Amino acid sequence: MRTLATFLRLSGDRRGAAAVEFAVIALPLFMMLFGMIETGIMAFTSAVLEAATREAARQVRTGVVQNAGDAVARFRAEFCPHLPATLACDRFHFDVRTFPDFAAITLPPVTLDAAGVPQGLQFAPGAANEVVTVRVIHPYRFVTPWVGEVISGGGDVVPLISTAVMRTEPFQ
């Protein structure tokens, strides 16, 4: 009888109910919050990558990169100033290929090794009046591992890729 009275008295006590209810929803709430933040950071990085690739590819199109002594260093010098300070330039990789015409363009898929470095890249900016593809690859590493699992389908690194295709101008 005494146990029943204690149970009835405690079951009517609502103090602390909000704390318990918040504890139940806190984990899904924070998972969604961090997922939205991570997705926003990835979208920002992708937009910056597109803009920087477009600006640097223009230098390939006009022959500035080809006429430099070290074409890769010149391309990097054209690309990196368009990145914000939050993105390290050395984390971006370049794949520049030349084709005889637009119909002949075939680009292999980007594969990352265990360290997240793209494999099979080359840097051949071509000459005047050639079709050139410029791909810039950024292995984006997720801060929150479970977001990486959901977005990339496994793993915590996904390659963000920006591509520019053009015919180079008749430069000297």
CA-based torsion, 4, 6, 8, 11: positive or negative: negative
Domain ranges of the chain: 2-167
d(CA 139, CA 58) in angstroms, rounded, equals 23
Per-residue pLDDT of the chain (172 residues; tens, 9 = 90+): 678 777 666 666 677 778 888 888 999 899 889 989 999 999 999 999 999 999 999 999 999 999 998 999 999 999 999 999 999 999 999 999 999 999 999 999 999 998 889 999 999 999 999 999 999 999 999 888 778 787 777 778 899 999 999 999 998 7
Which of 94, 100, 149 is closest to 120 using CA atoms?
94
The label of the residue with tokens 């479970």 reads 146
